[in-house]
């Protein structure tokens, strides 16, 4: 990484740094899916087949959530979609941690994945909104770097938790 690149990251609008932090957290959480399979099989006693089906449905639900979230962001606004969908998704994940009935966990994970992924297109559109053509590539580069940092942190955290 060139020193000039670091300088260009420093000159970005403040909102890009908030998006960076959100993306690191989101990426760290999304990359624990291999551990989700182990959790479903080892801790909850489900079959490998069931765990595979759940993971497939989670990924499909996230894809559909992104499509719907992008359209919703166009209709009602990016910031409101980011805030509401992120809060609802986070609330579901917190509720999962306190569930007495583990049978509901896989289904709530599907719902949370669908909801939280709806905010992602709005985050990308927000980067375009807060940057100009001159610094847009740097903003996306920084957020992508944050994405990779999150992917590095996620498995480490999941390994310690499992």
pLDDT of residue 159: 75
Residue 1 is assigned to a structural domain of this protein: no
* Closest alpha carbon to 122 in 5, 12, 18: 18
Flag whether 95 is in a domain: yes
Answer yes or no: is 108 within a domain: yes
Cβ neighbours for 116, distance < 8 A, ≥ 6 positions apart: 26, 62, 65, 85, 86, 88, 89, 90
Confidence label for 4 from pLDDT (cuts 50, 70 and 90): low
Q: Please give the pLDDT value at position 1.
A: 52
pLDDT at residue 52 above 70? yes
Q: What is the CATH number of the domain that holds 82?
A: 1.20.1250.20
- Does position 50 have pLDDT exceeding 70, yes or no? yes
Q: Which residue has the higher pLDDT, 101 or 159?
A: 101
In a domain, 2, yes or no: no
Quick one: pLDDT at residue 117?
A: 92
Q: What pLDDT does residue 162 have?
A: 62
Whether residue 12 is contained in a domain is answered as no
Which tops the pLDDT comparison, 73 or 159? 73
- Domain coverage including residue 43: 29-161
Give the number of domains in the chain. Answer: 1
DSSP structure string for 84-135: HHHHHHHHHHHHHHT-S-GGGHHHHHHHHHHHHHTTHHHHHHHHHHH--TTT
The pLDDT tens digits of the residues spanning 104-146 come to 888 999 999 999 999 999 999 999 999 999 999 999 999 999 9
pLDDT at 25: 86
């Amino acid at each position: 990484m060139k020193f000039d690149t670091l300088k260009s990251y420093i000159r970005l609008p403040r909102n890009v740094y908030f998006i960076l932090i959100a993306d690191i957290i989101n990426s760290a959480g999304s990359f624990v899916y291999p551990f989700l399979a182990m959790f479903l099989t080892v801790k909850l006693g489900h079959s490998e087949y069931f765990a595979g089906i759940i993971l497939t449905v989670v990924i499909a639900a996230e894809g559909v959530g992104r499509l719907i979230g992008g359209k919703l962001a166009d209709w009602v606004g990016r910031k409101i979609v980011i805030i509401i969908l992120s809060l609802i998704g986070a609330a579901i994940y917190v509720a999962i941690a306190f569930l007495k009935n583990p049978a509901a966990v896989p289904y709530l994970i599907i719902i949370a994945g669908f909801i939280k992924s709806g905010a992602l297109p709005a985050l990308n559109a927000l980067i375009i909104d807060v940057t100009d053509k001159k610094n847009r590539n740097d903003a996306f580069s920084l957020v992508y770097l944050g994405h990779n940092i999150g992917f590095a942190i996620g498995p480490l955290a999941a390994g310690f938790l499992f």
